[in-house]
Structure formats: structure tokens, C-alpha cells
Amino acid sequence: MEKADIFERLRNGETISSNDAEAYKMREASFVTKKLVVQMNNATEPTEIRHLLSQITATEIHESVTVFTPLHINYGKHTKIGKNVFINFDCVFLDLGGITIDDNVLIAPKVSLLTEGHPINPAERQSLIPKPIHIKKNAWIGANATILQGVTIGENAVVAAGSLVSTDVPDNVIVGGIPAKIIKEINA
């Protein structure tokens, strides 16, 4: 049986050793993406920004999506963005592990979505551990929040500005702090 390519393996959550025969492909793909990201971040027309983001993600970005650049993405093809999403200035998406942003999500300035981590053991530290991030519909991620790998943000949830989210957030709650904890429930 043929081994899956490195990007499929990443998307499936496989830890990739720095000695992996295909590891170089991650850097190569990131440099290809970087060229498109530079073009996107220098574009001024919303239509052009969406067109370039569609190329970066290899998906069709809906016309209802608004992105205020700059937006920094290291790979792009593992990012899926729903309809009526707003992404504000200076966000960072490390998406080798997969990022899914559902409809009607608001992402404030300087938000980091980080699907990639490394082993704690120093001998293995150069390896890459990918785990997906899922932001469910109607969530609002506050300014300068960081969402770590493997986290799901529930429907209608709010992540307070400056928070570090390292565990799943239930639907209909506000979380905040470092590490983020539930502050209150949202009664809709």
C-alpha cells in the first residue's frame, strides 16, 4: 500500500518527524503560499483579497467573507472558511493541522490560530504534532486571543481579548484568561 503524502498525513493528525523523507515539502509549500500571502496582503480591493485567499486555501471564498489584511498563513490548503466570516487585521493561521471556521464567525485583530505543536521531549522536539482547530458558527474571537491546537470553539461562544485557549470551549459561553476559563453563560 502506498503511503499517504505528507499533507494528508498532517491533516490526519500524524506526528511528522524532522527526519521524515517528505518533511522538506512543508517548507516548499510554505514558500509557495508566502508569495500569494504577500500579494494578498498588498491588495486593496476586497474582491482581489478573496480571490487570492481562494488560491491560498484552494477553496472558493464566498463573497460574504471580509478579510482585513495583513493575514499570515503558513500553508493555507488546510483552512476552510464559511460564509459571512469577518477576519480583522494581523491574524496568524498555522494550519498544517487543519482550521475550520464556520459561518458567521468574527475574528478580531491579532488572533492566532495555531494547529501545530512540538513534543516536549528535547530529542524529538523538531517533530511536528498537528491537531485541528474548529471554530463553530456565530463564535467571536476577541483581539489578541490565541487558540491552540486541537481546540474546538463552540457555537455562539465568545473568547475574550487576550485569552489563551488550550481546551475546548462549549457552546454559548464566554471564556477568558490564561488559560481561558468559562466566565459566564450566554442566554440567547
Q: Strand ranges (DSSP E) for the chain?
A: 66-67, 71-73, 79-81, 86-87, 91-94, 99-101, 106-107, 112-114, 116-117, 129-130, 133-135, 140-141, 146-148, 152-153, 158-159, 164-165, 173-176, 181-185
Under 8 Å between Cβ of 167 and 55 = no
DSSP 7: H
Q: Which residue has cell 463564535?
A: 139
The cell numbers describing 128, all together, are: 511536528
Residue type, 91: C
Active-site amino acid positions:
118
